[in-house]
Structure 1
Amino acid sequence: MTVSYELSRPLAFSRIKGPGLRVYRDVLPWVTVLVALVLYWVLPLRIALVGNTSVVAMASPFFASLPGFFIAALAAVATFHGADLDREMSNVTADMTIRGETAPSALTLRVFLCYLFAYLTAISFLGFFLCASVSLLAKNLHALAAIASWGDHAREQLIGSALRSVFVVLVTLVGARVVFCTALGLYFLAERVHQELS
């Protein structure tokens, strides 16, 4: 195993193939991003991205509080003694490298849930570091936009708008993926683990 393979495994859930997974992982989060962008640019009073009552101030504690819960869920799923968790799920696969060979592999419910909670832990950390970085670098980013515009005020405004839009997209995408994938995890833990796998 290579270091890059091992470090990428918490994000392996993003590449798992299975019925309905793309809706939670991709479709609903991107719809949420579009709604957030429209609201950000259409509302008469602009939403603050950094500062005391801002997106960063509200999102940072949200992202920071989640990894502990997801790691606890991961530990519980990984160590729970239940034979039903070790049955293969139908039509759910992930690419795995075993003895140097990468190939699609069928997943058990336990492995699927472990990938899900590892993914949620990783993107929660990512969301926190994204918010912290923007909070710390906001003034420098504004200065870089001014430098890059070569004194052209319209270009400076355009660069600043682009940077704000990129941040709105990233923080909304990460936040929405956390929310929708957590909802999927709650469904599996509350109901699906008690059903016969088909």
Structure 2
Amino acid sequence: MLYQLTRPFSYLTIKGMGGKKFYDIVIPFTLMTITVSSILYPEFNIKALIGENSFIAKTISFTSGLPGFFIAALAAIATFKREGIDEPISSNGESPYIFVKGVRDNGNEYMSKEIITRRVFLCMLFSFLTAQSFILIIGCNIYTSIFEVTSHVFTSTISSCIFTFMFYQIVVTTFFGLYYLGDRIHH
């Protein structure tokens, strides 16, 4: 059951796609570092980052509308009729792949290496974006309900870094998906 519930995050496990880790980790981490540093420096004001009317408060209101868009994109991609969308992706002569859990007739589980098609890649990408948006919104609401910003500066700073990283991961991955849908899929 845990495997099924965490499957929307399988996008992060795609192997063999050049530059994907750069999009998934390096760019969001760099943007998070720049954002958090610029808000907290030179005057350490955690309320400007996570308090009322802060960067995160304004960002969460924007982010709360994204899951609907991502679900609509996922539905469109899943039913998209276009020649070549169900062909494997080729990236620098290598085909990206994932490992998928299966169950044999005898009940034994196994992992198989599956080559990714364009449709599968885009469905995984928008499934990840939907799940990440939900977690970001729910996590932020739970955090702000439980903790008071001024009494937990360390926790607030760490939580702000996690939120900001996840937010930029959504932004960068969305742009990557838009690039793929708007340009790459037509070549």
Whether these two folds match at TM > 0.5 is: yes
Question: Which residue is equivalent to 2:173?
Answer: 181
Does 1:119 find its partner at 2:111? no
Question: Which residue is equivalent to 2:32?
Answer: 33
User: Deviating runs (4+, > 2 A) in structure 1?
Assistant: 43-46, 138-142
Counterpart of 1:93 (choices 86, 89, 97) is: 97
CA drift of 1:14 comes to 1.0
CA drift of 1:101 comes to 1.4
1:113-137 deviation digits (Å, cap 9, x = unpaired):
0000000000011111122112211
What root-mean-square deviation, in Å, do the aligned CA atoms of Structure 1 and Structure 2 show? 1.7
Does 1:130 find its partner at 2:139? yes
Question: Which residue is equivalent to 2:20?
Answer: 21
1:76 maps to amino acid = A
CA drift of 1:59 comes to 2.0
Counterpart of 1:5 (choices 3, 10, 16) is: 3
| Aligned equivalents of 2:31, 2:178: Cα separation in 1 | 20
Which structure has greater helix proportion?
1
| Aligned equivalents of 1:112, 1:48: Cα separation in 2 | 34
Contact 1:59-1:131 within 8 A present in 2 as well: no
Task: Flag structure 2 segments of 5+ consecutive residues without an equivalent.
Answer: 104-108
Task: Please give the TM-score of this superposition, normalised by the length of structure 2.
Answer: 0.87
| Aligned equivalents of 2:11, 2:142: Cα separation in 1 | 25
CA drift of 1:48 comes to 4.3
Inter-CA distance 163–102: structure 2 relative to 1 (3 Å threshold):
same
1:80-106 deviation digits (Å, cap 9, x = unpaired):
112311000123111111232113211
Question: Which residue is equivalent to 2:106?
Answer: none
Contact 2:40-2:49 within 8 A present in 1 as well: no
Does 1:106 find its partner at 2:115? yes
2:10 maps to amino acid = A
Task: Flag structure 1 segments of 5+ consecutive residues without an equivalent.
Answer: 143-159
Contact 1:56-1:135 within 8 A present in 2 as well: no
1:43-97 deviation digits (Å, cap 9, x = unpaired):
437214122x123421221221000000000000000112311000123111111
- SS of the residue corresponding to residue 121 of structure 1 reads helix
Aligned pairs, number: 175
